[in-house]
Chains A and B, each alone.
Chain A
Amino acid sequence: MDVLTAARLQMEVSLGFHMIFAALGIGMPLLMLIAEWRWLRTGQAHYRALAQKWAKATALTFAVGAVSGTALSFELGLLWPRFMALAGGVLGPAFALEGYAFFIEAIFLGLYLYGWDRLTPRAHWWAGVPIAVSGLASGVLVVAANAWMQAPADFEAVNGRLTQVDPLSVFSTPAWFHLALHSSLSCYIATGFAVAGVYALGMLRGRRDAYHRSGLDIALLVGGIAAVLQPLSGDLSARRIAEYQPAKLAAMEAHYETSTHVPLLIGGIPDGAGGVKWALRIPSGLSLLVGHDPATEITGLNAFPEDERPPVGITHVAFQVMVGCGVVMAALAIWFAWRRRRGDVSGARLLLRAIVLASPLGYIALEAGWIVTEVGRQPWVIYGVMRTADGVTPVSDVPYTLFGFTVLYLALGTALAWLLLRLTDQRYMPADETTYETPEGAA
C-alpha cells in the first residue's frame, strides 16, 4: 500500500472513530440537562435516574473522544506535515479557541460527573450547562478549520510556507456557516436517534415505565427537532457548494455535462463512464434545488480537468445514503410527534420498531455526510491550493501505523460497545431504576 492511501485511510479511521464520540459529546449533555431540569421542576425521581444514566454513558464516551481527539491533533502533523506547515498558522486560531472550549467541557464534566453529592442540585444543573455549550462550540470551531480547507481565503505562501495571513481568515470562510449548522444538527440527530432506540427497544420488551417513556421523549425531542430542521440546512449547503465547490456538487449528483434543467438523482450507482445505473430521476430537480429555478445551469464534471475531479462513485453513493437516512429520520420524527400528541406511545409497536431500526441511521448519515465533504474535496487537501498528495508525510511507515490504529480502534470500539450495552442491561440496573411507574402516566 502506498503512503498516500495509507495516510488517507488512517485519517479516515481516526476521524471516523473520533466523530462518533464527538457527536455524543455534543448531543448527550443536552439530553442530560433536559432530564435533570425536568427532575428539578417535577421532583420525579426517574428524571434524575435518566440524567445519571446518561451521565455514565457520557463519561465513558467522552474519555474515548478526548483521547482519540488528542490523537488527531498529532496525526494532522504526523500524516500531513507539509499541509500543516502551510495551514497550521491559518487553522491555529480555530484550534486555539477550540482548545479553550474543550478545556471548559472537560472541567465541567468532571464537576458534573463527580459532583452529584458535592454540589447543590441547582449548582449541579448549572455545571452541566457549560458542557453542552462548549461541546457545541468545539464542534463549530473544528468545523471552521475544515471549512477553510473547503473554501480557503486570504493568505499568501512561498515555498510551502505561510508568509502572510489574516489570523481571522479561518473564521471568514464562506463555507463555515452552512457546514457548522449542518454538522451540529447531525450530532443532535445521531445522538437523539441512537438513544431513542435504546428506550424504544426497552418498551417493546415490556418496560413501559415512566423511565423508558421519558427517555424516549427527551431523545426524540432533541433528535426529532434537529431531524426536521436538517433538510433546510441541507438545502442551504447544496446551494453554497454549487457556488464554492462545483466539482463536489457535480460528483455528489454524478453530473457530467454542464447544462440547465438538471434532474435530481435518487439512488443509483455511477458506472464510471458518465452514466448512472438504476437511479430515479426527478426532472429539473437539481436545478430547482440549487437555483430555485429549473433553468439554473449546473456545472458538470467534464468542465474540470480529469485530475481535478473527485471520485464520483464514493461521493455520489455516500450523498445518497446521507440524504436517504435524513429523510427517513425526519419522517419518523413527524410520525412520532403526531402519535405522541394523541397520548402514550408505549403500545405503538410499529412506531417503536421503526425507532429501533432507525437508531443507527443518524450515525450512518453523519459518517456518510463527512465522506461527501472530504472525498468530494479530493484531489485537494486545501481546495484549489494544495493537493492531498503534496501534503502527505515522506515517512514510509504509515501502513504499519494504519494497521496498528485500526486494530486499536476496533478493540476499543468493541470494548466500549460491550460496556455501554451493560449500562442498558436491566440486570445491572439498580432496583429502583427499573420501576418508575408514575400514576399520571404522562411522563
Chain B
Amino acid sequence: MTAEVLVAGLGLIALLAYAVLGGADFGGGIWDLFASGARRREQRDAIAQAMGPVWEANHVWLIFVIVIIFSAFPLAYQALSIALFVPFHFVLLGIILRGAAFVFRAYSPQSARALGRPSAATPAGGAPGPDDVRAGGASPARPERARPWGVIFGVASTITPVLLGMCLGAVSAGTLRLGEPGEVRIEGAAPWLTPVAWAIGALALALCAYLAAVFLANETGGELREDFRRRALLSGTAVVALSVLALPLVRSEAPHLWDGLVGGRATPVLAVGIIAALLSGWFLRGRRYRAARVAAVTQIVALLTGWAVAQYPYLIYPDLTLAGAAAPRGVLVFVLWSTPAGMLLLLPSLWYLFRVFKGEHLSVRESAHPPD
C-alpha cells in the first residue's frame, strides 16, 4: 500500500475521531438550544458538565485533519480553500463563536448557574463562589442571566455541523473542477450548495444531535436521562429519514458514490452502518444505554468510512486523486512516522482525561437540582 493511502487513512481516523467526539459536542450545543420541558435548565447543566473538561481536546482532531490535508495533500488544500472560501469562513465563524460563547457563559459573573464552569458545584477554594451567592443558591425561580451567551453557543453549534457536512459533500458533488495547477473552476452550482451537499449537511446535523443525546443519556440519570432518551429516539428517527431521502439524491447526483456504496467495495461497510443504526435505536428503546452508545459510535464510523471507501481514490471527484494531490514522499513518510510517536504521548493522556471525567462513578448521575 502506498504512502499517500496510509496518510489518507490517518486523516480518516482523525476525521472519525472529530465526528464522534467533536460531533457530540456540537450536538450538545444543539440540545442546549432546543432544551425544553420542565427540566430544561437541568438539561443545559448536564450538557455543560459533560462538555466542559473535554471539548477543547475534542476540537483538536479538526486541526489534525487540516494539518494532514495541507501537509500531505497540499493541492487538495489549495483547491478546497479557493472553492469553499465562503462556507469555510462561516464554519470558522461558527467554531469561534461556539467555543468563545461556551467559556464566556461558564465564566460570566452573571451566569446564574456557572454552566460548565470548573468546580461549579463545589467551588474549588471550599468557599462559595460569588456567583452562587449572587444567584441566591438553588432557587428554582431564578432567571438564566447569561442566556445570550447560551443562545450564541447553541445557534453556532447548530449551524456549524451543517456547514461542515456541506463542505464534505462538496468534494463528492462533481461540480468542483480543477484545471491547470492552481486553477479551480465551478461547473454549475457552487459545490457546497448542491443537493448532495445539502443532504450530507442535514444528515450531519441529525447525527450530531443523535450522538449527543445518546452520550448524554449515558451520563445522566432519572428523569433527565429519559429526556435525553426521547431526544435520541427523535433525532435517530431523523437520521434514518434523512438517509432514506439522501439515497436517491446520491444515485442521481453522485453516481460514483452510489456505485461504491451500493454495488461496490463500500457495501459491507455501509451494511455494518445500517445494522449499527438499527441496533442503536433498538437498544435505546430497551434502555440499554451503554450498548446504544457503542452502536451509535459504530454507526457514525461505518457511515464515514463507507463514504471514504466509496470516494477512493478521489479526494475531489473527479479531478483530484490521492496520488495526484500528494506531497513529496519525504513529507508523507514523516507524517506516518511521527504519528506513532505522537500517539504514544497522546493516547495515555486522553485515556487519563476521560478516565478522570467520564469514569464509571460518573456514568449514572442524578440531576443535581429538583425539577421546576
Contact = CB atoms under 8 A, between A and B. Distances in A.
A40 interface: no
B70 A70 contact: no
Interface string B45-74: 000000011101101101110111011101
B67 A159 contact: no
Nearest to A98: B67
Contacts of A117: 119, 122, 124
Nearest to A430: B127
A111 B52 CA distance: 10
Interface in A125-163: 130, 159-163
Contacts of B66: 70, 73-74
B77 A103 contact: no
B96 A412 contact: yes
A406 interface: no
A64 interface: yes
A69 B67 CA distance: 12
Chain B residues touching A, majority SS:
helix
B346 A103 contact: yes
Nearest to A95: B67
B128 to A, nearest CB: 7
A246 to B, nearest CB: 30
A113 B56 CA distance: 12
A306 interface: no
Interface in B17-70: 52-54, 56-57, 59-60, 62-64, 66-68, 70
Contact of B125 (A74, A91, A395, A430): A430
B331 A93 contact: yes
Interface string A369-410: 000000000000000000000000111010001001000100
A114 B55 CA distance: 12
Interface in B84-113: 85-86, 88-89, 91-93, 95-100, 102-104, 106-109
B130 A428 contact: yes
Nearest to B341: A100
Given A97-B342, A163-B328, A77 B78 contact: yes
B357 A52 contact: no
Contacts of A82: 78, 182
B286 interface: no
Given A59-B103, A162-B328, A416-B104, A85 B182 contact: yes
A92 B85 contact: no
Nearest to A426: B130
A102 B56 CA distance: 10
B291 interface: no
Contacts of A263: none
A97 B338 contact: yes
Interface stretch (A164-172, A317-325, A327-335): A164-172
Given A100-B342, A117-B122, A77 B52 contact: no
A206 B96 CA distance: 39
A100 B345 contact: yes
B330 interface: yes
A70 B342 contact: no
B124 A81 contact: no
Contact of A104 (B334, B338, B346): B346
A119 B95 CA distance: 30
B189 interface: no
A297 interface: no
Contacts of A49: 125
B193 interface: no
Contacts of A115: 53, 356
A371 to B, nearest CB: 23
Given A103-B57, A110-B353, A77 B96 contact: no
B60 A160 contact: no
A397 B74 contact: no
Interface residues on chain B, size class: 35 or more
B71 A93 contact: yes
Contact of A89 (B53, B122, B331): B331
A56 interface: yes
B112 to A, nearest CB: 14
B241 interface: no
Nearest to B108: A419
A71 B99 CA distance: 12
Contacts of B64: 99, 103
B71 A160 contact: no
A397 B338 contact: no
Interface in B346-362: 346, 349-350, 352-353, 356-357
B80 A106 contact: no
B333 interface: yes
A422 interface: yes
A442 interface: no
B123 interface: yes
Contacts of A404: 89, 93
A248 interface: no
Contacts of B70: 73, 76-77, 84, 88, 91-92, 95
Nearest to B61: A103
A6 interface: no
Contacts of B74: 84-89, 161-162
A25 to B, nearest CB: 11
A92 B71 contact: yes
Given A73-B66, A107-B349, A428 B109 contact: yes
A96 B125 contact: no
Q: Which of A70, A91, A111, A394 has the most CB of B within 10 A?
A: A70
B206 interface: no
B107 A419 contact: yes
Given A77-B70, A107-B353, A160 B85 contact: no
B24 to A, nearest CB: 15
A70 B109 contact: no
Contacts of A88: 70-71, 74, 77-78, 327
B122 A159 contact: no
A242 interface: no
Interface string A49-87: 100100110011011101111110111111001101111
Given A111-B53, A395-B82, A419-B104, A95 B59 contact: no
14 contacts: A52-B125, A87-B74, A88-B77, A89-B71, A96-B71, A96-B338, A99-B60, A106-B59, A162-B328, A164-B328, A165-B327, A415-B104, A416-B100, A430-B128
Given A107-B346, A161-B74, 6 more contacts: A82-B182, A100-B338, A103-B60, A114-B357, A395-B82, A397-B85
Interface of A: 45, 48-49, 52, 55-56, 59-60, 62-64, 66-71, 73-78, 81-82, 84-93, 95-97, 99-100, 102-104, 106-111, 113-119, 130, 159-168, 393-395, 397, 401, 404, 408, 412, 415-416, 419, 422-423, 427-433
Closest 7 CB pairs of A and B: A92-B71, A88-B74, A89-B327, A77-B81, A167-B334, A85-B78, A67-B99
Interface of B: 52-54, 56-57, 59-60, 62-64, 66-68, 70-72, 74-75, 77-82, 85-86, 88-89, 91-93, 95-100, 102-104, 106-109, 118-119, 122-125, 127-131, 181-182, 184, 327-328, 330-331, 333-335, 338, 342, 345-346, 349-350, 352-353, 356-357
